[in-house]
A and B are shown apart, each in its own frame.
Chain A
Amino acid sequence: MSIMSSYARALAAQEGRAQPVATVRHVHLSAAPMVFIPLRLAGEAAAPLAAMVGTDPENPRLLVVPQPRNRDLRFAFMAELADVMLPYIEGFAEVVETVEAKTPYERYADAPQILVPSRGGVAFTKLLGRSTRFRRADGPYPVHPTVPVLGQWLTFFADRAEYAGSSALVAMTDALALHFATGQSPMEDANLATQLAWISPPDGQSGAKAALAAEDPLISPPAGPDTHPDFDGQVLEHAIRAYETSGSEAQVREALRSQLTPTWSLMWHAVRLLRGLPEAATVDVRWVRDREQFTRETARLAEGGSPRGRVDSAVRAAIRLADLESVVQTYEAQRAFDDPLVMIEHRVAGKAFTGEVVGVDAARRIVPAGKTRPAPRPLVTIRTSDPVRLSPGRKLFSSRNRKQRTEVVGIDGDLVVLQINDQMGRGASPAPGSLPEVGDVVCYAELDPGGGQRPRLPAGEDTPWTHGGPPTPYTPTDEDAEEAWS
């Protein structure tokens, strides 16, 4: 935890209420998100027990597996889930917009968004995808044809969730923690009920007291995927036995409805809370990436794309790692430049500073390293009271122009001298407006929203000897489809 977030937590504990750590909303919130609360059978890795799912707060759909140890019933459950999710997901693959680029291309105007209560929900979504995407509608142990399709989509969402700033599959507790610091530990924040109790306690009650009350599993049952052991032993066990003797699902359904409904209300309460915050400037830029990935996946599946292999090849892994790292860097920078409250964290750490411009040497020209002719390299002097911990040569960007490269030339007391390196037009002197002016209040930070240039990696079939040579391409087999599912 950084000093700022520790401070915000201490303040929250003292005030008895969660404290804002963001002034704007950094996650995209769809007009019609799908809330998905899955439960699994205790002791099993991926045996679904129930799910509450839907896009209408007033009208949740409850799906249950009346005997979760019966594999046929599990697949029937997955087919039912596909009935709810696939129309929602595929419904976005209709309205297309054309993007003007060197080679114009098309992407869908909107994309599906799935909200789960916590990281456990994301991990379970991934497991459900993993256990259904290799299934087949024909051959041994056939399943309903929509089951493997749903498996591919769940895999897609869980994959996207690994990318920083993606809003395709969001864990609600993470989204709330981005905007509110509670008076409890980050570990306790993984409980949606107590986290929300800190953020919006009932009138006249402190967050701590409300959170304590919310810990009661009778009032707020666990948000999943694991159920409460008391519920398992005292309620679920009997309900399942009743199903086995009578063949009626009613008792199991009622039991699970009681476990899921409180979380369902909390999820929509959290959605309303987040909607109350104005959207940050770059949220849409990131959502465009989600839309583009959704477009690509739709096209891939339409062409009969085979399910993703279980393991990444050497080249795929390296590319993915580079992608993941570059989006983390971009996301960190975008969030800080979008939100002064986030930037404070970097200012406290000495990686960023805000101050007033006290001098501009716009006429300065030098011969840059590796060049032969002089070029404009103006100097800007800024007075700041921030604890700057940057050394000469460090590359900075500013909220004024996020593309303009600058570097630290020197720091003397409270004065920081920066050299501006580009984005000044083609003329012999800097274009008007391309430099800050004396009296401007500016913020510079060692955060690069650009993501940077990357060298190309070899194609998969050119994998060098050092990494085991070219891998055999993955094709799903019957054996994959028969894999035990527990």
Chain B
Amino acid sequence: MIAETPAQAAAAATEAILADFTGGAHRGVIVDSPPGAGKTTLVVTAATTLADSGERLMIVAQTNEQVDDLADKLASKAPALTIGRLHSDGFSVPARVTRHPGVTASNKIEHVEACTVVIATADKWAYVTGRTWTWAIVDEAYQMRSDKLLAIAALFDRALFVGDPGQLDPFSVVDTERWAGLAWDPMQSAVAVIARLNNLPVHRLPVSWRLPASAAPLVSEAFYPFASFRSGTAAADRELRLTTAGFPVPWDRTLNEAAASGWALHELPSRHTIRTDAEAVQACAGLATRLLQRGAVAHDENGSHDVSPDRIAIGCAHNDQVAAIRAAGIPAGVTVDTANRLQGREYDVTIVLHPLSGRRDATAFHLESGRLCVLTSRHRHACIVVARAGIAELLDNHPSTGRVQLNVPVKFPDGWEANHAVLAHLSRHRIEA
């Protein structure tokens, strides 16, 4: 048998998904998509396919940013389509959406319901009543809490649920143990609930177009143990080059390692610190600054471009860390955010403050595999992890001991194991600061 190229594998998967979705045998189809696997492209293809056969559909995404991205892509790819962008009162729709003549934006469903495609956040859809659509696409369905799906499920007959199972689970500020084990536990993701209560086909997108060949195997093995995927590009397709040589100092050596191998662990001396560890914060900000000073150029399958500030992100676990890194002085335009907000975004180079760096304990929050998965799968070229030494020992001192509850499906991967897998890989790219 001749091995499929990544493009052929992806095309075959898309075809099978559309056949199942529009075939009518199931009320819903679930699509698991690893990071950067062309999820948005799939949504756009499904929407245009339905629209071409004269059907109307509704699209649900989770944040306004996701909705605007989708509306923009949809309108760019299918200019003839009429698209309704439904939004909340007082929200101003960005120009990248309103520039398309086919897009109508309004905060009232009456103004946009005639459009072939109506797109809004789940929160906004929850206020729509008295109308139904035959077809729906729910994007980022693993980020959606199941009670949000409950509020909008009456609006559609059939739905395509698309999302990344490796991302962060929905969370709540209250104790939700009361519902643990129930099939409709409102704290689960929308996909978890529909999959448990309905027998629906599950598809997988097999190729990550974002992650380079250096990252796809690790991310796949650590975070998607039963749904492996491969990189859409070969090692030779991507190259990160630093145009200046740099000094033999830790920051520059870390950047050299990242440019050469796609990974770097910038390791600070072992120490218990407060969350906003001044040295780690300084390292994150300093590495971003130095990366720009050294003039990084990224070569990929689409050509070459300078790595500008907007192609760099710094990710961490907590909001106070974000604030501290911003306050430490970062080049204008570099994104600094928590894992929750970086979900679904893409950069050339990411700098990650390891969630367990400097901690005394490994709590469920810090061990959650989704958090580390989001942080280590946003990059097209290189990922630099900043951490205090001693995380492996910390993990060994805090074996994963969550309470076992009846009827709660076992979750894979285990955060503890995923953390170890990533650390083991990073130890080969360690630079001691």
Contact pattern, B 83-116, Cβ under 8 Å of A = 1, otherwise 0: 0000001111000000000000001000000000
Q: Is A229 an interface residue (CB 8 A)?
A: no
User: Taking the complex as formed, is B270 at the interface, i.e. its CB lies under 8 A from any CB of chain A?
Assistant: no
Contact code string B31-53 (vs A, CB < 8 Å = 1, else 0): 00000000000000000000000
Contact of A465 among B27, B89, B127, B179 (CB under 8 A): B27
Chain B residues near A3 (CB-CB < 8 A): 274
Bound-complex Cα distance A467 to B197 (A): 6
Interface centre among A321, A328, A349 (most CB of B within 10 A): A321
Complex CA distance for A416 and B426, rounded to whole angstroms: 42
B179 lies within 8 A of A312 (CB): yes
Contact partners of B27 in chain A: CB under 8 A: 465
Q: Tell me the bound Cα distance from A317 to B193 in angstroms.
A: 13
For chain A, residues 20 to 57, give those with C-beta under 8 angstroms from any C-beta of chain B: none
Chain B residue contacts of A164, Cβ below 8 A: 174
List residues of chain A with CB within 8 A of the CB of B126.
455
Tell whether B213 is near chain A: CB-to-CB under 8 Å.
Answer: no
- Lowest 7 CB-CB distances: which A-B pairs, in order? A455-B126, A464-B153, A318-B147, A314-B184, A369-B92, A389-B323, A468-B197
- In this complex, the interface size class of chain B, counting residues with CB under 8 Å from chain A, is 35 or more
User: 1/0 per position for A215-232, CB-CB distance to B under 8 A?
Assistant: 000000000000000000
In Å, the complex CA distance between A324 and B358 comes to 34
Knowing A324-B174, A325-B173, say if A467 contacts B193 (CB, 8 Å).
yes
CB of B174 within 8 A of CB of A462, answer no
Cβ-defined contact, B172 with A317, below 8 A: no
Name which residue of chain A comes closest to B124, CB basis: A455
- Could you tell me which residues of chain A, from 297 to 324, have a CB within 8 Å of some CB in chain B? 311-315, 317-318, 321-322, 324
Cα–Cα, bound, A318→B188 (Å)? 11
A245 within 8 A of B: no
B1-49 contacts to A (CB < 8 Å)? 27-28
A328 interface neighbour in B107, B146, B174, B187, Cβ under 8 Å: B174
Q: Which residues on B sit within 8 Å (CB–CB) of A457?
A: 147, 150-151
B392 at the interface (CB under 8 A from A): no
C-alpha gap A92/B404 in the complex (Å): 42
A3 to B123, CA, bound (A): 34
State which residues 174-215 of B face A: CB under 8 Å.
174-176, 178-179, 182-187, 190, 193-194, 197-198
In the assembled complex, B154 has its CB within 8 A of some CB on chain A: yes
B367 contacts chain A at the CB level, 8 A cutoff: no
Q: Is the CB of B186 within 8 A of A318?
A: yes
- Alpha-carbon distance between A389 and B323 when the two chains are bound, in angstroms: 6
Shortest Cβ gap from A317 to chain B (Å): 5
Residues of chain B within 8 A of A465, CB atoms compared: 27, 153, 198
- Compute how far the CA of A321 lies from the CA of B184 in the bound complex, rounded to whole angstroms: 12
Report the interface size for chain A: residues with CB under 8 A from the other chain.
33
- In the complex, A349 Cα to B151 Cα: how many Å? 34
- Cβ distance A422 to chain B, nearest Cβ, rounded Å: 11
Query: What's the minimum C-beta distance from B157 to chain A, rounded to whole angstroms?
Result: 9
Question: A374 within 8 Å of B by Cβ?
Answer: no
Nearest-Cβ distance from residue A143 to partner chain B, whole angstroms: 26
Distance of A100 from chain B, by nearest CB (Å): 30
Complex: chain B residue closest to A163, CB-CB: B174
On whether the beta carbons of A321 and B172 are closer than 8 Å, the reply is yes
Q: A317-B179, A370-B90 are in contact. Are A468 and B151 (CB under 8 A)?
A: no
A contact patch SS: loop
Given A389-B320, A458-B153, 13 more A-B residue pairs with CB atoms under 8 Å apart are: A318-B150, A321-B187, A322-B147, A328-B174, A370-B90, A457-B147, A457-B151, A458-B150, A464-B150, A464-B154, A465-B153, A466-B149, A467-B194
Chain A min CB distance to B112 (Å): 14
Chain B residues, CB < 8 A from A468: 183-184, 197
Q: Does A368 contact B (CB under 8 A)?
A: yes
B150 touches A314 (CB 8 A): yes
Mark each residue of chain B from 61 to 90: 1 if its CB lies under 8 Å from any CB of chain A, else 0.
000000000000000000000000000011
What are 19 A-B pairs with beta-carbon distances under 8 A?
Answer: A3-B274, A162-B175, A314-B184, A314-B186, A317-B186, A318-B147, A318-B186, A321-B147, A321-B174, A321-B187, A325-B173, A328-B173, A369-B90, A455-B123, A455-B126, A456-B129, A463-B150, A466-B197, A467-B149
In the assembled complex, A410 has its CB within 8 A of some CB on chain B: no
In contact, B320 and A370 (Cβ under 8 angstroms): no
Contact of B91 with A369 in the complex, beta carbons under 8 Å: yes
Q: Which of the residues B28, B107, B185, B323 comes within 8 Å of A370, measured between beta carbons?
A: B107
- Tell me how far the C-beta of A204 lies from the nearest C-beta in chain B, rounded to whole angstroms: 36
Whole-angstrom distance between the Cβ of B43 and the nearest chain A Cβ: 19
Give the nearest-CB partner of B324 in chain A. A389
Chain A residues with Cβ below 8 Å from B127 are 455
Chain A residue contacts of B183, Cβ below 8 A: 468
Contacts of A466 in B (CB 8 A): 28, 149-150, 153, 159, 190, 193-194, 197-198
The answer to the question of A350 belonging to the interface, with a C-beta cut-off of 8 Å to chain B, is yes
- Beta-carbon nearest neighbor of B197 in chain A: A468
Chain B residues near A368 (CB, 8 Å)?
90
Max count, chain A CB within 10 A of own CB: residue among B27, B179, B184: B184
The complex places the Cα of A55 from the Cα of B159 at a distance, in Å, of 58
A237 smallest CB distance to B (angstroms): 32
By a CB distance below 8 angstroms, the chain B residues around A313 are: 184
- Report if A311-B194 is in contact (Cβ < 8 Å); known contacts: A369-B90, A370-B91, A389-B323: no
Closest-by-CB residue of B relative to A318 is B147
Q: Are A467 and B146 in contact (CB under 8 A)?
A: yes
**Nearest-Cβ distance from residue B320 to partner chain A, whole angstroms:** 7
Q: Which residues of B contact A349 (CB under 8 A)?
A: 320
Q: Is the CB of A455 within 8 A of B151?
A: yes
Q: Bound complex: CA of A315 vs CA of B193, how far in Å?
A: 13
Interface residues of B in 131-160 (CB under 8 A from A): 146-147, 149-151, 153-154, 159
